[in-house]
Amino acid sequence: MGDFFTVASLVFVVGSGIRLATPFLLAGLGEAIGQRSGVLNLGVDGVMLLGAFGAYWTIYETQSPVLGVFVGLGVGLVMGVVYAVITVGLKAEQGISGIGIFLFGLGISDLLFQKQVGTPFPIRGFGDWHVPLLSDIPKVGEMFFQHSVLVYVAFALVPAVAFLLNRTTFGLNVRAVGENPAAADSLGVSVARVRTTTILMANTLAGLAGAVLSIELGIFQQNLTNGQGFIAIALVYFGAWRPVGVMGGALLFGLVSATVLQWKTLGLVSGAASSLTAMAPAVLTILALVVISRTVGQPAALTRPFERGH
Amino acid sequence: MADHTVPLLELRGITKRFPGVLANDDVHLDVLPGEIHALLGENGAGKSTLMKVLYGLYRPDAGEVLLSGEPSGIATPADAIDAGVAMIHQHFMLVPTLTVAENVALGLADNGMLLDTTAVAGRIRELSARYGLHVDPSAYVWQLAVGERQRVEIVKALYRDCRLLVLDEPTAVLTPLEVDELFVTLRTMAADGVGLIFISHKLDEVLALSDRITVMRDGRVTGETTPGQTSKGELADMMVGRAVQLAPDRPAADVGEVRLAVDGLRVMGDRGLESVTGCTIEVRAGEVVGIAGVSGNGQRELAEAVAGLRQPTGGTVAIDGTDVTGQHPSRVRAAGLAYVPEERMRDGVVGEFTVAENLILVDHDRDPYCRRGLLRLGAIADACRDLVARFTVKTPSLETTTSNLSGGNIQKLILARELSGEPRVLVAAQPTRGVDIGAAEYIHRRLIDERSSGTAVLVISEDLDEVLALSDRVAVMFAGRIVEVMDVADATVERLGLLMAGTGVEEVGAA
Amino acid sequence: MHKRNHRKWLGLAALLAVLALVAGACGSDGDDSAGGDDGFRIAIVAPSASNDLAFTQSIVDGVGALTGVSAVDVTDGTFIVDDAAAAIRGYAEEGYDLVIAHGSQYGGSLQEIAADFPDVAFAWGTSSDTFGLPNVSAYTAASDQGGYVMGVMAAAMTNSGVIGVIGPIAVGDAKLYVDGFVNGVQANSGGATANVNYIESFSDVALAAEAAQGHIANGADILTGTAQMVVGATGVAAEHGAKWFGTQSNQTALGADIVVASQVYKWEVVLQGVVDGIKDGDLGGEAHTIDLANGGLVIEFNDAVDAGHARTLGENTIKSIAAGLKQTGA
């Protein structure tokens, strides 16, 4: 039995939390962009699975993690086209379409895995990249600057997405389309074009999130994501549709998971308490959601297909 | 007016058919540069369809749209903007979560990749100063009052150098003072050569503002005239197609005991702020008390609290001396309240239900509609047929889905249901909003009849003409409380307008 | 309105069509080789992938090793119990000679289904409960025995004195294995400690990986774990050069230079008897256990990893357990 409040233990928990948060963050950022334009995509988890398998299989065949990342992105983009056709083109109901995408991703990723690979052979990813100078800072470097390059990419995307949404013309269009598509349309902004673009971005990021998962774990397995995509959606609500908020939610979720894991590793909790603490991340997220949903409104046109003249 | 100039806009023989409806039938309309052209007509007369044809939202089955003598070529809203045509819809096309500057900048063709709202804000200030449109570019739209939002809409149009501006019922949401300010702005625009189409059903305003008036009914133009050549009565007759009595006859009131007593009522609004801040008012048997006020001053919350739909945080409501404060709506109704809600589609009927189902919505669990938990369909049909006939609800059948009826007929249906219970108190919120003149005339008559038969009637309306036409006493509501109650004989539009704007009211807020 | 609804349905129809195709493709997944009416046909319903290098693969491999079987059909990935129940019932209706419900979570469903088909033989595990039904065989593994052997070996091999154990939920086969392993570590006089971390999930690969990171951060140089989510942990072990002990299947494929040994389940050792019994008209009613003594449990060493004297120690421990000389369980 060890002590949780040692420097080494806390340093590990922070690093662990950051690693766990990364896939949530990427998928959540994408979902946030989509939702800001009024598109709910419940299929994130399915797209993540496809991205994860695409990246895994590519690296399995070519041993190139870079190529794997691009395949993950590409798979996401393709799924984005599919989802855009269904929800923007055919104006189908977003909730059920998203569930369809999820089931599709769940089934196809496993089927392809069974047919093409079969046994979960390990693959090699990027390995940790120690940021020059910064990683040498005692403790801090260990917590923040000794991660896979994909972790840095994910966190660098937070200000990038915030800038996109708040400081660019495209971002203005996105926010307008998500709140009042009729107003945007009346000013000549193409609702369909804006939403198609955000869907492509959202799904590409979901594909990347999946790729990060399989590359970092070095493995693929049926239902590898284990519902992470759905948690990412909850974290978008948690983060009040803001990139920084989504990051906060992902980090909180990751850090709480890491803390609970560390407690168990150190033997501080066991038996029934172990089962209960395992629920902590989910319970915390739900509590925060309840509080936030009372104070912040979702994009007014979320899940509503747009048709001119209605 | 310079009669020799080429019209800015010319609609020639516009015909637009929808399945079963001829929405526009060979409609001609032209607007000269610098002209304010009023388009007058009831709901369903074809005004909106015509404007949607102009704006490229509908393609006409016949006819053509000319701008400055050339075919307009407008097929999308973007084309319309390029051609200098702007439209201010009745429901504002604004994004509440964006700032004024962002709303104006939205969709501008010269936006770069990066958003630069400072330049936009500068030009907004310029336009504000020139046209007397006070707006703060950095304010969020959700923070603005309705009148300010409308100014943002006008700024949007001016920013895009519009040559032709269509305003759909622009005064419906304004105080008399704001209406005056709006008219000044519109006249300035007209003086700059902008052509304006002013859609309205308020006859006074049409006469006061416009250079020319086109009246539509049932998809056709029924007359074109100028304010100098016509009168309110004549315009109303052209709109409805028969002689209309604009103000109902009001026999002398025979006022009895207090039926509805609201005392010091406090109610929270949707945003968690107190909307009704200590409201006191009494309504007696046999009188109509009208509450005038600009939308958002607590009228809706007051009505809902009286009806038991919103929990008050303080004060009391009594019906016939029985305290019903905060009671369940069914208890309030049992005490004798009938309620015609402001949001009739949300609170008044279940849109997907049939006419008959909506008619028995309140009493479906009681004799004669229900025995031992089973609906008695025969009795229901009989009663509903009777109500539909008595209240002249135009419906194909009792089984018609209610949402397919017009606003006026739905309002008559609600009135039929509410009055069939012979209430002690009737609260009617915005009873004729969005209702055509013919139906409004009928509804007004029924309200007066109800009052004359001894019911206490409380009418809440943002339409001053309506308040003045119906009320025996007029109350003005501002910032959540009744600031003054007066006899209708003492109520002038000017006086009410000042009170509605909060001027002339000593001490507001502190309680 | 009409138009919109129409489009909505169109979209849905398109989606459903795609899904149906996928479902069809998945449904045909399985290695049924013959449809011979008179041969002996076995059906397996299992919760994870049939090549998961863990729980499900153990039964698929086991059935594959049986003799006198003409056809095998597998429905895998049915982690939803209702789906599994539907599959079990379907196989019973189709008249398979033996229907195997491979997952203790299927017990409740099986109890009902088996009673409805008294002429069909069922087997299920891991459990020792036959519900008193004559057509149900139960099978379980004394996985604490292999756990104990590997615990003894791990304690002998560790340099840091810390060994990390990753479990799913503390029930059934997983709990047996983990308890046996910990007992094995403690039986060694070297004073090594085993940190146990149940991550409360059979499927969260990312969490299993992070649990492995945690063990290593806390000084562990040898890891083990059970259930299908450990594939995340083996990658972490490989990255940090920690050794790994596997169970349920030979996990050498997950890391040829780190897997010291794996406890492998040979279900065929007991299932062969069940199959032969059915052919003789005995549909079941008994509980079976595979263990080191009957050869149902085998410790497979990876020769690529030099375990030194620990291997000798392990082999001796196997012998004494098989001879009934050691208490391995909780």
Alpha-carbon Rg of chain C, whole angstroms? 22
State whether B280 and B371 are in the same domain. Answer: no
Residue C32's pLDDT band (cuts 50, 70, 90): very low
Q: Domain total for chain B?
A: 3
pLDDT of residue C33: 42
| pLDDT digits 0-9 by tens, B471-485 | 999 999 999 999 999
State whether B131 and B14 are in the same domain. Answer: yes
Which CATH number goes with the domain that contains A285? 1.10.3470
Q: Does residue A137 carry a pLDDT above 70?
A: yes
Sign of CA dihedral C281, C286, C290, C291: negative
String of DSSP letters for B39-76: EEE-TTSSHHHHHHHHTTSS--SEEEEEETTEE----S
Distance from CA of B494 to the nearest CA of A (A): 35
Those of residues 230-259 in C touching chain A at CB distance below 8 A are 231-232, 234-235, 238-239, 253-255
Residue B3 domain-assigned (yes or no): no
- What mean pLDDT do residues B326-346 have? 90
Q: Do B96 and A180 touch (CB under 8 A)?
A: yes
pLDDT of residue C35: 42
State whether B274 and B161 are in the same domain. Answer: no
pLDDT of residue C12: 53
Name which of A222, A225, A230, A308 to mutate to probe chain C: the one with the most chain C Cβ atoms within 10 A of its Cβ.
Answer: A222
Q: Return the SS3 of C268.
A: helix
Spell out which residues of chain B touch residue A172, defining contact as CB-CB under 8 Å. Answer: 98, 102, 105-106, 111, 115
Spell out which residues of chain B touch residue A168, defining contact as CB-CB under 8 Å. Answer: 113-115
Residue A2's pLDDT band (cuts 50, 70, 90): low
Q: Do A182 and B98 touch (CB under 8 A)?
A: no
CB contact burial A177-204 (16+ within 10 A = b; e otherwise)? bbbbbbbbbbbbbbbbebbbbbbbbbbb
Q: Return the SS3 of A46.
A: helix
Q: Does residue C15 carry a pLDDT above 60?
A: no
Distance CA A265, CA B217 (A): 80
pLDDT of residue B509: 41
Distance CA B178, CA C236 (A): 70
The answer to whether residues C243 and C252 touch, using CB atoms and an 8 Å cutoff, is no
pLDDT of residue B507: 45
- What mean pLDDT do residues B277-299 have? 92
Phi, psi of B391 (to 5 degrees): -100, 15
The answer to whether residues B183 and B209 touch, using CB atoms and an 8 Å cutoff, is yes
Return the closest-CA partner of residue A38 out of A186, A199, A146. Answer: A199
Q: Return the SS3 of A277.
A: helix
Q: Do A169 and B76 touch (CB under 8 A)?
A: no
State whether B472 and B327 are in the same domain. Answer: yes
Q: Does residue A122 carry a pLDDT above 90?
A: no
State whether B213 and B252 are in the same domain. Answer: no
State whether B250 and B213 are in the same domain. Answer: no
Phi, psi of C131 (to 5 degrees): 60, 15
String of DSSP letters for B202-259: -HHHHHHH-SEEEEEETTEEEEEE-GGG--HHHHHHHHHSS---SS---PPP---SEE
pLDDT of residue A269: 78
Sign of CA dihedral B192, B193, B195, B201: positive
Of residues C197 and C5, the one with the higher pLDDT is C197
Q: Does residue B173 carry a pLDDT above 80?
A: no
Q: Which 8-state DSSP code applies to residue B137?
A: T
Q: Domain total for chain A?
A: 1
User: Which of A92, A262, A275 has its CB closest to that of C12?
Assistant: A92
Among B370, B404, B421, residue at a domain's last position: B421
Listed in order, strand segments (DSSP E) in A50-102 are none
| pLDDT digits 0-9 by tens, C298-318 | 999 999 988 888 999 999 999
Q: Does residue B56 carry a pLDDT above 60?
A: yes
Q: Do A274 and C198 touch (CB under 8 A)?
A: yes
* Neighbour-count burial of B18, counting CB atoms closer than 10 A to its CB (0-12 exposed, 13-18 middle, 19+ buried): exposed
Spell out which residues of chain B touch residue A35, defining contact as CB-CB under 8 Å. Answer: none
Distance from CA of C19 to the nearest CA of A (A): 6
Q: Return the SS3 of C237.
A: helix
Q: Does residue C248 carry a pLDDT above 50?
A: yes
Per the prediction, chain B carries an average pLDDT of 88
Residue A1 domain-assigned (yes or no): no
Q: Give the bridge partners for B40, in sequence order.
A: B200, B215
Distance CA A137, CA A132 (A): 10
String of DSSP letters for B366-392: STTTEETTEE-HHHHHHHHHHHHHHTT
What crossing angle do the helices spanning C205-217 and A7-36 adopt, rounded to 10°?
Answer: 160
State whether B150 and B23 are in the same domain. Answer: yes
**Is some CB atom of chain A closer than 8 A to the CB atom of B78?**
yes
Q: Does residue C2 carry a pLDDT above 70?
A: no
pLDDT of residue C4: 44
Least confident of A251-255, B140-144, B251-255, C95-99: B251-255
State whether B102 and B135 are in the same domain. Answer: yes
Of residues C228 and A38, the one with the higher pLDDT is A38
Residue B4 domain-assigned (yes or no): no
* Domains detected in chain C: 2-140+267-290 (3.40.50.2300), 143-265+295-322 (3.40.50.2300)
Listed in order, strand segments (DSSP E) in C254-304 are 259-265, 287-290, 297-301
The answer to whether residues C101 and C124 touch, using CB atoms and an 8 Å cutoff, is yes
State whether B225 and B314 are in the same domain. Answer: no
pLDDT of residue B370: 81
Distance CA B131, CA A291 (A): 45
Look up residue B316 and give its two tokens.
């009391």
Residue C27's pLDDT band (cuts 50, 70, 90): very low
Residue B1 domain-assigned (yes or no): no
Sign of CA dihedral A173, A177, A181, A183: negative
pLDDT of residue B21: 79
Greatest alpha-carbon pair distance for chain C in Å reads 79
Among B386, B421, B456, residue at a domain's last position: B421
Residue B12's pLDDT band (cuts 50, 70, 90): very high
Residue A114 domain-assigned (yes or no): yes
Q: Give the bridge partners for B427, in sequence order.
A: B339, B458
Place of tokens 């945690």: C214
Listed in order, strand segments (DSSP E) in C134-192 are 136-141, 162-167
Distance CA B49, CA B36 (A): 20
The answer to whether residues A101 and A46 touch, using CB atoms and an 8 Å cutoff, is yes
Domain extent, residue A66, equals: 14-118+136-292
Return the closest-CA partner of residue C146 out of C43, C292, C13, C316. Answer: C292
User: Which of A103, A119, A265 has its CB closest to that of C214?
Assistant: A265
Nearest CA in chain C to A24: C206
State whether B26 and B55 are in the same domain. Answer: yes
Distance from CA of A30 to the nearest CA of B (A): 20
Q: Do B114 and A170 touch (CB under 8 A)?
A: no
Q: Does residue C25 carry a pLDDT above 60?
A: no
| pLDDT digits 0-9 by tens, A181-206 | 999 998 889 999 999 999 999 999 99
User: Which of B77, B82, B113 has its CB closest to that of A186?
Assistant: B77
Tell me the residue type at B38.
A
Q: Does residue A306 carry a pLDDT above 50?
A: yes
Report CA-CA distances (Å) from B448 to B244, B438, C86, C166: 17, 16, 69, 81
Distance CA B99, CA B124 (A): 12
Residue A249 domain-assigned (yes or no): yes
State whether B67 and B201 are in the same domain. Answer: yes
Count of CB atoms within 10 A of residue B104's CB?
Answer: 28
CB hemisphere CA count around B480 (13 angstroms): 20
Residue B4's pLDDT band (cuts 50, 70, 90): low
Count of CB atoms within 10 A of residue C281's CB?
Answer: 6
Among B240, B267, B286, residue at a domain's last position: B240
| pLDDT digits 0-9 by tens, B388-402 | 999 988 888 888 888
CB contact burial C227-266 (16+ within 10 A = b; e otherwise)? bbbbbbbbbbbbbbebbbbbbbbbbbbbbeebbbbbbbbb
Residue A51 domain-assigned (yes or no): yes
The neighbours of chain C, by the rule of 3 or more Cβ pairs under 8 Å, are: A
Distance CA B354, CA B375 (A): 15
pLDDT of residue A310: 52
Residue A221 domain-assigned (yes or no): yes
pLDDT of residue C185: 94
Domain extent, residue B97, equals: 9-240
**Is some CB atom of chain B closer than 8 A to the CB atom of A55?**
no
User: Which of C26, C169, C205 has its CB closest to that of A111?
Assistant: C26
Q: Give the bridge partners for B265, in sequence order.
A: B279
Per the prediction, chain C carries an average pLDDT of 86
Q: Give the bridge partners for C123, in sequence order.
A: C100, C137
Q: Whole-prediction pTM value?
A: 0.80
Look up residue C327 and give its two tokens.
């208490």
First to last CA, chain A: 65
Q: Does residue B158 carry a pLDDT above 50?
A: yes
Q: Do A188 and B113 touch (CB under 8 A)?
A: no
String of DSSP letters for B300-350: HHHHHHHTTSS-EEEEEEEETTEE-TT--HHHHHHTTEEEE-SSIIIII--
State whether B151 and B271 are in the same domain. Answer: no
Place of tokens 């020319």: B212
Spell out which residues of chain A touch residue C207, defining contact as CB-CB under 8 Å. Answer: 20, 257, 261
Spell out which residues of chain A touch residue C19, defining contact as CB-CB under 8 Å. Answer: 100, 103-104, 107
Return the closest-CA partner of residue C282 out of C130, C57, C73. Answer: C130
**Is some CB atom of chain B closer than 8 A to the CB atom of A186?**
yes
Least confident of B21-35, C1-15, C123-137: C1-15
Alpha-carbon Rg of chain B, whole angstroms? 24
Least confident of B76-85, B339-348, C2-11: C2-11
Residue C36's pLDDT band (cuts 50, 70, 90): very low
| pLDDT digits 0-9 by tens, B413-454 | 999 999 988 899 999 999 988 787 788 889 999 999 999 999
- What mean pLDDT do residues A117-145 have? 83
Tell me the residue type at B100.
V
Place of tokens 């607590």: B298
Spell out which residues of chain A touch residue B94, defining contact as CB-CB under 8 Å. Answer: 180, 183
Least confident of B155-159, B405-409, B460-464: B405-409
Distance CA C226, CA B486 (A): 84
| pLDDT digits 0-9 by tens, A278-297 | 787 778 778 877 777 667 77
